Each structure stands twice: as structure tokens, then as C-alpha cells.
Chain A
């Protein structure tokens, strides 16, 4: 079956602009995760959804970051007033239930000029 997909695959934007990143999880997966990975670094946990709810938003780096999930499926990560330090690969993953095997998407590579 289809895996996790993310769009766009690459995004170049100017400092101060807003960006929206999309994640389509595997059908039937109740848990969805967003991570950020800077060049050569590990993954930074951003947020986790169980269904449409995010129990803990404290991983989001600042109030410029927000995320939502609708219909227990698609999720959108929005970064407002982008800064150069937001440049990274944003990875989405889903799992059948929380904290079990995660299936990762290919990521969105964001570059803020």
C-alpha cells in the first residue's frame, strides 16, 4: 500500500513569509508525528497527534509554529514569519498506534533565504 507522503518535497522561501507543509499518513494510522532535522543532526521532536488531537505542543520551537490534523488523516505544519534558522528537513511519520513502529515520509526540505 501507499506509504507516508509529504509535500512539497522542496520549498524555498524568503525570510518573513509563511509556509505550509503537508503530510499524508498511511491510511488507518492513528498516530502522526512531525520532526525537524538540521543538516547532519538528529531528529528534533515537534509534535504528535493521536487522531486529530495533539496532547502536547511543547515541542514546537516557537509560537510561529502550528500544526493541525483533520479527519484523522492529513496534517499540516505551518510556519509563520519564517526565519533562516527554520531551514531544515521536516519529516512526518505515522504509526498504527502511538509509539509503535513509525513509517517516515521522504521529508520536506525547507530553505529560508
Chain B
């Protein structure tokens, strides 16, 4: 069953604007991670946030986690053309050993 669901499915913004993507999940988690995938390539880890954390920053990335709403958001500030990619959230469920990825948000940065 699908654990993580990202929205929107696709997002197009102008270069320099901020991009926000959301992830919702269904069951309790130990941690949540965000990954980026450039077209046809492997995934790259962006950030990990644990269930007892509410916000983390890494460069232009800001991730929030609301365990009461079972949701997370990824904010990319001052977007660049190189940020064009698909972004996935992945949850580590605390009821089993599975890591569950969502279907992703396709982000397109317009010049």
C-alpha cells in the first residue's frame, strides 16, 4: 500500500521563485527522507528528518515534519534551473522494515 503521497504531482515555477512540495503518509514513522532524481538517473539523498524533529535546513532546502498531521513539506528557496528534477519522500515505518517512497513531484524550473 502507498505510504507516502507527494503533492503536487507536477510543479512549474520561474527561476528564482520558491518551490514547495508536500508529502503525506499514513502510519507512524521513525524518520522521513527527501530524495531528488534527475531524469533517468539514480536518486540523490537531500535531507533526513527524524520523528522527534520539526524542521531541518540544508543550504537552500527547508524540511518540516508534522507528525500529528502525518505530513512533511520540502521548500526549495531561490530555485535554479539545476533544481529541475523529480522529488520523492521516503518514510521509514516503525511497524516493519520497509522504506516506502511516494510517487514524487516533478519540478520544472522555467528560465
Contacts and interface: CB of A to CB of B under 8 A. Distances in A.
**Which bucket holds chain A's interface residue count?**
20 to 34
Interface in B66-111: 88, 90, 92, 96-104
A42 B99 contact: no
A91 B4 CA distance: 18
A48 B101 contact: no
Contact of A42 (B30, B92, B103): B103
Contacts of B97: 48, 50, 55-56, 98
B67 to A, nearest CB: 16
A43 B87 CA distance: 11
B100 A99 contact: no
B104 A48 contact: no
A107 interface: yes
B interface SS class:
strand
B48 interface: yes
B42 A48 contact: no
Given A43-B101, A56-B96, A104 B30 contact: no
A41 B86 CA distance: 10
Which residue, of A44, A103, A104, has the highest number of chain B Cβ atoms within 10 A? A104
Interface in B31-80: 31, 33, 35, 41-45, 48
Given A42-B103, A45-B101, A56-B96, A99 B45 contact: no
A99 B31 CA distance: 8
B99 A33 contact: yes
Nearest to B43: A104
A68 B19 CA distance: 40
A4 to B, nearest CB: 8
14 contacts: A4-B42, A42-B88, A45-B101, A56-B96, A91-B42, A91-B43, A93-B43, A99-B30, A99-B31, A100-B48, A101-B48, A102-B90, A104-B43, A106-B42
Interface of A: 4, 33, 35, 41-45, 48, 50, 55-56, 59, 91, 93, 98-107
Interface of B: 4, 30-31, 33, 35, 41-45, 48, 88, 90, 92, 96-104
